[in-house]
Amino acid sequence: MIGVIAGSVDHWAVREFFELFKTPWEFYQPGRRYDVVLCSDPAKLKSVDARLCLIFSGQKIAFDADQGIQIQSRLNGGELSAFGSSSPIYGEILTFQNTGSTHVSRSGETVIIRVGFDLFREVETLLVKGQPVRYAAVPTLEQHIDLIRNLISEYGIPFVEIPPVPDGSEFIVCLTHDLDHALIRNHKFDATMFGFLYRATVGSAINLGRGRMSASKVLKNWLAAAKLPFVHLGLAEDIWYQFDRYVDLEQGRPSTFFVIPFAASPGRSSRGSAPRNRATAYDISDIAPKIPRLRAAGKEIGLHGLDAWRDTDHAREEASRISEFAPKPELGVRMHWLYNNENSPAVLDAAGFSYDSTFGYNETVGYRAGTMQAYQPAGATRLLQLPMHVMDTALFYPSYLDFSEENAWEYLQPFFDNAVRFGGALTINWHDRSIAPERLWGDFYVRMLGELSRRGASFSTASQAVSWFRKRRSVVFERSGSDAKTLRATVQYQAGDGVPPLRLRFHNGSKSHTDVSFEGSVELDAHSLLPDRITVLNDLGGAING
């Protein structure tokens, strides 16, 4: 059990941190014995009864003077290296003479580790403001969790956690598709049509010369450009109205389609009217004939919102429009052009959305929130944020990363590695027309699906992933027994069919672990976390010995 000492201003960040690092914890209660005490409010730190005490602060504190700890530097932001990872720190960070950003001392039987940054202020920064593009490729919050995990293991303390990994897989992948331009026939002599013609002809030739496109793809684009007049005359099928090809490409893998509610509406930005080119020439009524095939194949329809991010009335109106054509008990949203602000979670939560998948980057690939886990953003009471990580346009657009397909492939390998290492849900956004001329990024997409499957991913719609995270978040750890030395973990979420089971991970104090699947309740000795000492109770009341 971890006892946490923190100021009230940090309590939201503390609670959310321990939903992501799902391990037994409570706010510190004097007189109780703890395996670990984690303190971010040193003014409240008195004598503690614990094997390990972790003190986090980016400021010089009385403890430093009492222990004779020499401060080497105090910076506003920096990087912390520990256990083979380097993590950006966005608040104040201290380094100590001869020991870097950590200092180890002892008080009786208690090991005390002084860490030179404020953990929970960093958590709040990541989940509310997000990371700058410079550090987009760093899963910073996952590395903070791993720091705590490694420090506990380093000093031989057994503990239990529920990792963000469904039993039976290595990690989750959410395949998502933003539908921005469903039909090219709706674009007559506008910027979208002329842009397509340029990119399909001149742009394709340029990309051939740059080694970014094969001759066969150039030919496909030229033929598509030649076909365009016949599309407008109704004599040829629409080259963009084929996004249901994802059913074939994904080969039974679930995915989520985010659909525009109203055509010809750019919505509003934080500065007033949004740019006119944010408006789309289609809305959900135009794609209604495609919806039955998508839903029959296990695909999900969500809202690609216009103004839902800024006020509840618009959010409800846009949600209602989607529900006319694709009714669903749990509706999710991703904002068009990723519009959002710090009030958006409360707005979307009040409108009844189950999840939002807006928090990500337009211009790059990465971990804006520093995590691959769904989390509950500040201001929300039920809504979860499912961060977006990989977007096709960020990889390939000349104004963004401008990668060739091979460069993009190499760039994504660490993201796949991190998914295996940390778990969570890797969320990918491949737009509707990205498998059509003039982009033709379908081959890359299929190659990526194969690689993710090879690495042990389980694929789910956004709603399915969020349901699994809700199930994990519902687990409550409680002390039980007359001597309070027994812990009980109970799943309090009644998930629907098909939600994978959770996994209990027992760290034995020597940097190794044992996993046990469970669905109902677990009782274990708080000081002897050994697999042969536990009993897992399933939902039918039977027992499975770990």
Q: How far apart are CA 174 and CA 138, in angstroms?
A: 20
Q: How far apart are CA 307 and CA 266, in angstroms?
A: 9
The residues that bridge with 100 in the sheet, in sequence order, are: 96
- Torsions phi, psi of 504, nearest 5? -95, 135
CATH of the domain spanning 2-161, picked from 3.90.400, 3.20.20, 3.40.50, 3.90.175: 3.40.50
pLDDT at position 409 is: 98
List Cα–Cα distances, 148 to 171, 375, 391, 541, in angstroms: 21, 19, 31, 34
pLDDT at position 396 is: 97
pLDDT at position 542 is: 31
Residue pLDDT, tens place only, 60-94: 999 888 888 999 999 999 998 888 889 999 999 99
CATH number of 171-182+240-467: 3.20.20.370
Q: How far apart are CA 484 and CA 495, in angstroms?
A: 30
Domain spans, the chain = 2-161, 171-182+240-467, 184-239, 483-545
pLDDT at position 250 is: 98
Amino acid 210 reads R
Statement: the pTM of the whole predicted model exceeds 0.85: yes
Q: How far apart are CA 254 and CA 416, in angstroms?
A: 19
pLDDT at position 483 is: 58
Q: How far apart are CA 138 and CA 133, in angstroms?
A: 10
- Check the CA dihedral 120-123-125-131 and report its sign: positive
Q: How far apart are CA 521 and CA 536, in angstroms?
A: 6
Residue pLDDT, tens place only, 287-335: 999 999 999 999 999 999 999 999 999 999 999 999 999 998 899 999 9
Residue pLDDT, tens place only, 135-168: 999 999 999 999 999 999 999 999 999 999 999 9
Report yes or no: 193 and 291 within 8 Å, Cβ to Cβ.
no
